Amino acid sequence: GENVEQHPSTLSVQEGDSAVIKCTYSDSASNYFPWYKQELGKRPQLIIDIRSNVGEKKDQRIAVTLNKTAKHFSLHITETQPEDSAVYFCAATLRDNYGQNFVFGPGTRLSVLP
C-alpha cells in the first residue's frame, strides 16, 4: 500500500521568510496530492492540491511542486505570516476515487515567529 513520509516534523521561520515542507510517496499509481492546514483546535482544511499531470501549481503565497520520477512533492509558502502557523499534512491518493484511500503524512508543525 501507499506510504507517505513528511519532513521536517517541525519548522520555525521568521515572519516574511519562506517555508518548505517535503513529502515522499511510495505508490507510483498515486496521482493526486493535496495539502491540508490544521490550526489548533480546528479541522484540517484543504489549501492546495496537485495532480500528476502537472509539475507545479501556485495560489498566491503558496505553491506545490511535484516530481513524479522521484515520487516527491513539496509545499512552498512565501512571505510567511503569523497566521500561517499551523500543522500541515500532505496526502497521496488515486484521483477520481471519491475521497477513498487517502494516505496522510505525519504532519509538519510550522511556527512563524514575529
Which positions touch other proteins (CB under 8 A)? 32, 34, 42-46, 49, 89, 91, 93, 95-100, 102, 104-107
| Phi and psi angles of residue 11, each rounded to the nearest 5 degrees, phi first | -150, 125
Are the beta carbons of 58 and 77 closer than 8 angstroms?
no
Pick 23 or 112: Cβ nearer other proteins: 23
- CA separation for the pair 2, 86 (Å, rounded): 25
User: What separation, in Å, do the N-terminal and C-terminal C-alpha atoms of the chain show?
Assistant: 41
Pick 61 or 95: Cβ nearer other proteins: 95
- CA separation for the pair 21, 33 (Å, rounded): 13
Shortest Å, Cβ 2 to other proteins: 12
Cα dihedral 78, 82, 4, 41 sign: negative
Shortest Å, Cβ 69 to other proteins: 24
Pick 32 or 57: Cβ nearer other proteins: 32
Shortest Å, Cβ 73 to other proteins: 16
Shortest Å, Cβ 43 to other proteins: 4
